[in-house]
Amino acid sequence: MNWETFQHYDALSEGAARIFLDAIRADPKVALGLPTGNTPLGMYARIVADCSREYRCFRDVVVFNLDEYVGIPRDHPGSYFTFMQRHLFGHVDIEAANTHIPNGMAPDLKVECARYERSIASAGGLAITFLGLGSNGHIAFNEPGTPFDSRTHVVNLSESTRRANAAFFVDQPVPTHAITMGIATILDSRQIVLMASGAKKRDAITRLRSGTQGRDFPASALWTHPNVHVLVDEAAWSMGMAPRQDK
Ligand code: GLP
């Protein structure tokens, strides 16, 4: 696991955007896994600013979002589809057919999960997956207790995750379920970039840095992957512990 600390959130966002932009320039047909949440907002803003100056920046890029709520239409203000339109897709020249988000309104969610796995595989797998970090250690919507060998599946959202995501659901309760890439789906990605910012993430980062692996802390599965880059700002980084540098 390769750790990089930044003085503040803006610098972290710049660092993450650099990795993203380098990847789409090196391989214009690259397939990427993308997160939602507050953490990637700065990264998306920088990507949009950079690509608005370039012709055909996202033309053939293929993206797969990590997760989506179950039971809300995609044009609902709280859906991750809306989030991605607002922060990335609506501002760059990505083809709608190349943007993939699990369909939380599918009549058969199990079939939808299997379809999502197949479409990642038929895109040749993910070159880089970008991740945020839940304060309880969740990645995508894989809550504590999720097996490390899980594939795309339906999850029951924890109360703390529902509370953390309540801001977009003023007119109705936060959904109780979501579809998420599984931990094994994420680990299949050839590279993983995890971003964590702010004091709220300090405990989770301390636990991740300890190197202790366990289902109670889903992000610890990343220690089993050979190519993980963690970007952390100083607020999320508590002093006094040397990070483990081996895998
Ligand atoms: C949600 C998302 C995760 C995200 C997490 C952290 O639960 N499903 O993918 O990483 O929130 O969000 P934030 O970046 O806002 O702290």
pLDDT of the residue at 129: 98
Dump pLDDT digits (tens) for 53-112. Answer: 777 899 999 999 999 999 999 999 999 999 999 999 999 999 999 999 999 999 999 999
Q: CA gyration radius for the chain?
A: 17
Nearest to 191 by CA among 220, 219, 229, 218: 229
pLDDT of the residue at 239: 62
Dump pLDDT digits (tens) for 157-186. Answer: 988 889 888 888 988 899 999 999 999 999
Lowest mean pLDDT among 40-44, 119-123, 135-139, 184-188: 135-139
Decide if 67 is catalytic.
yes
Q: Whose CA is nearest to atom 10 of ligand 1?
A: 132
CA of 132 to the centre of ligand 1 (A): 5
pLDDT of the residue at 53: 79
From CA 211, how far away is CA 199, in angstroms rounded? 20
Of 76, 100, 136, 142, the active-site residue reads 136
> Which residues, 6 or more positions from 108, have their beta carbon under 8 angstroms from its beta carbon?
none
Q: What is the pTM of this model?
A: 0.94
Q: Whose CA is nearest to atom 6 of ligand 1?
A: 134
What mean pLDDT comes out for the span 27-52? 96
Give the binding-site residues of ligand 1, using a 6 Å CB cut-off.
35-39, 66-67, 132-134, 140-141, 161, 165
What mean pLDDT comes out for the span 3-13? 97
The residue with greater pLDDT, 55 or 135, is 135
Dump pLDDT digits (tens) for 194-247. Answer: 999 999 999 999 999 999 999 999 999 999 999 999 999 999 997 655 554 544
Decide if 14 is catalytic.
no
